[in-house]
Amino acid sequence: MAQQPPRYRVSDEARNILDTGLRNKWYGICSADRVLDAPLAIRRWNRDLVLWRDTEGNVYLQDDRCPHRGAPLSLARHDGDRLTCVYHGAEILGDGTVASLPGEPGCDLVGQCAVETYPVEVHRGVIFAWLGDGLGTEVAPLALPERLTSDSYDAFLAYAEWRTPYRYMIDNNMDPMHGAFLHRVSHSMAEGASEAEFTTRKTETGFIFEKKGQKNVNFDWSEWYDVDFQAVCLEIPYPKSGGPGGSFGIVFHITPIDETTSACFFWRHRKVSGWERDTWRFLYKNRLEGRHWHVLEQDRLVAERMVQDADRREYLYGHDVGVARVRKLMADEAERQAEALRKSAVAAE
């Protein structure tokens, strides 16, 4: 009998945290070039948010809600270093402070930090934001995987919004075996055995779930990365026609939009420099990108049509140990966060 991954249950509070995104993590929000002159309404973590940049180019992410009577700030007038609410003219700064209330100048809302504002960083054209726990926990530095920060790697971002709970796409990427089935007829995933035994190896930033006795043949391993930013790293070997540079890698990251929709970031990369980098970039744009979207489409179709309670009535087997382990890590973290919120609520009574 194959190894059985453990099952787990979480409290309702922890489930709510899990469904809308673990707190105290950095999340990808969107490509920075989507934020132009006008404020942009965007939904993440089951919250309505507004993204905007001041005239200096600094980007802000805030709740899309005027502190006066709740009008959307995404409709506000952009006034250089502030948003001016269209409804009654409240002026909101990038740190969430109310700078002015022209209808009632002496009002004590002026000067208060009244709009929830999320710490933001922009890295290689992508906006990341910190979802805190509301308990004053310090913001951790943004620590992306080396594959996204080192100059040795060259990456293209593929971004997609899919109608699937984000956890199903983490499962998908922590499941190397689906390569040999779902993507079997797709380029570069037809090789190797369709049976495998797996093993798990701890790393400094998470763990690797890998096939025993098969490496660099197919999608043979997944790495869970969690340093206050969660991602799955994986590699798929390329045939010679895929050009120079060895295996093709993916860093996958996902942000819940709401409980049933997700913003998916796939950074497709290769360790290449000099002329090899130029060749890779040319091949990617002209030949490989389309094929990769075709492979992603196979994932999307399955992920979007999973039954709603798929992860509550299932029969996990040995190939699912990586999936189960990530679920357990996330469930434990959600339970810890729910407990901290409960304690803080009791202390405040």
Q: Please give the residue ranges that form the binding site for ligand FES (CB under 6 A).
A: 66, 68-69, 71, 85, 87-90
Distance in angstroms (rounded) separating the CA atoms of residues 155 and 194: 29
**Which is nearer to ligand FES, 87 or 159 (by Cβ)?**
87
**In the complex, what is the shortest distance from the CB of residue 87 to ligand FES, in angstroms, rounded to a whole number?**
4
CB of 300 to ligand FES, least distance (A): 39
The amino acid occupying position 229 is F
Task: Transcribe 266-306 into DSSP letters.
Answer: EEEEEE--HHHHHHHHHHIIIIIHHHHHHHHHHHHHHHHTS
Asked if residues 61 and 129 have their Cβ atoms less than 8 Å apart, the reply is yes
- CA atoms within 13 A of residue 178's CA, in its CB half-sphere: 21
Task: Tell me which residues in 215-254 interact with Fe ion (CB under 5 A).
Answer: none
Distance CA 232, CA 224 (A): 5
Q: Which is nearer to ligand FES, 109 or 190 (CB)?
A: 109
Q: Give the interface segment with Fe ion, choosing from 24-32, 133-141, 160-168, 295-303 (CB under 5 A).
A: 295-303
Report the partner that residue 299 touches, choosing among Fe ion, ligand FES, none (CB closer than 5 to 8 A by kind).
Fe ion
Give Dmax over CA atoms of the chain in angstroms: 73
Least separation in angstroms between CB 303 and Fe ion = 9
Q: Indicate the residue among 89 and 318 with the shorter CB distance to ligand FES.
A: 89
Q: How far is the CB of 219 from Fe ion (least distance, A)?
A: 8
148 within 8 A of 154, measured Cβ to Cβ: no
Taking residue 287's Cβ as centre, other Cβ atoms within 10 Å add up to 13
CB of 288 to Fe ion, least distance (A): 15
The reply to whether 175 sits near Fe ion by the rule CB under 5 A is no
Q: Which stretch binds Fe ion (CB under 5 A): 3-11, 253-261, 276-284, 298-306?
A: 298-306
Contacts of 324 (CB under 8 A, 6+ apart): 5, 6, 316
- Closer to Fe ion by Cβ: residue 222 or 337: 222
Q: Which residue lies nearer to Fe ion by CB, 210 or 299?
A: 299
In the complex, the smallest distance separating the C-beta of residue 181 from Fe ion, rounded to whole angstroms, is: 10
Task: Find, among 220, 213, 279, the residue nearest to 249 by Cα.
Answer: 220
Check binding of 299 to Fe ion (CB under 5 A): yes
Measured between alpha carbons, how far is 234 from 249 in angstroms, rounded to an integer?
6
Q: What whole-number distance in Å separates Cα of residue 110 and Cα of residue 122?
A: 30
State the Rg of the chain over Cα: 22
Position with the least CB separation from Fe ion? 299
- Three-state DSSP at 22 gives coil
Number of residues located near Fe ion, criterion CB under 5 A: 1
Nearer to ligand FES, 116 or 133 (CB): 116
Q: Which does 187 bind (CB under 5 to 8 A by kind): ligand FES, Fe ion, none?
A: none
Question: With respect to Fe ion, which residue has the nearer C-beta, 76 or 174?
Answer: 174
Q: What angle do CA 124, 127, 128 make, to 5 degrees?
A: 110
- Smallest gap, in angstroms, from Cβ of residue 60 to ligand FES? 17
Interaction site with Fe ion (CB under 5 A):
299
